[in-house]
Amino acid sequence: MTRLLREAQARLKAAGLPEGEAWDLLALASGLSRRDLLLGLDKPPPPGTEARLEGLLGRRLSGYPLQYLLGEVEFFGLPLRVEEGVLIPRPETEGLVELALALPLPPTPRILDVGTGTGAIALALKAHLPQAEVYATEVDERALALARENARRLGLGVDFLHAPLTAGMEGLDLLVSNPPYLPEAYRRVAPPELAYENPLALYAGEEGLAVARPLALEGERALRPGGFLLLELAPENVHLLAQELRERGWEEVAVLRDLAGRDRYLRARRPA
């Protein structure tokens, strides 16, 4: 199988894709775990492996996301099912969860994740704050079904609601969201992988704030006094919304950076 691995690595590298994906694709094609694949590299591949690998490589080289091919992605230590048409959880969003866990929340906080997608944020927070009441809203029924399935598989009690934005909730201690935040103009230069995800989960008007802006307005009612708003946005628009919140009287408004050093997260507190 060493030959198959090296050939896959070379083709991925030539296409500008990570060579390490070859391990995932070969494991999927052979039906072996990564561990068994490593131990069996010097052995002949199982029957049909080469043909299956060729098919997987063809799809990946055409721009089909690796996560959809694998059907699963790890997010904050949780294995989440993913499928075409539902937003793939990104490493940047793990930073949003870390920021949420660092907040001075009460012992039994009420948390709402808006636009939950696969359920990534809500499930990660519930896993690390088991005493919390965690809710999540989503307008896409397909994504909502997937989020509920992930919750069942992981045994995590999150209340998922088929509703837009805050669903009229009140008394929240934390309102957190990775809303669609890409400006419409980005469609023209977007990588091919994005074409397989739901555009409603990616793009949000000319400025990229068509969802985040009304969500922040609803936060003024949904959050209890002193409650936190925490959003993931784009470097191009996070400062714009931050300034708007300051002008509306929000307190402790801050723009925070992701691991790559980009302005990514907006944190604000409803006036007490």
pLDDT digits (tens, 9 = 90+) for 78-122: 999 999 999 999 999 999 999 999 999 999 999 999 999 999 999
Cα–Cα distance for residue pair 68/118, rounded to 1 Å: 13
Tell me: the pLDDT tens digits for 131-175?
999 999 999 999 999 999 999 999 999 999 999 999 999 999 999
pLDDT value, residue 37: 83
Give the mean pLDDT of 239-262. Answer: 97
pLDDT value, residue 240: 97
Name the average pLDDT for the chain.
95
Is 80 exceeded by the pLDDT of residue 40?
Answer: no
113 neighbors 134 (Cβ within 8 angstroms) = yes
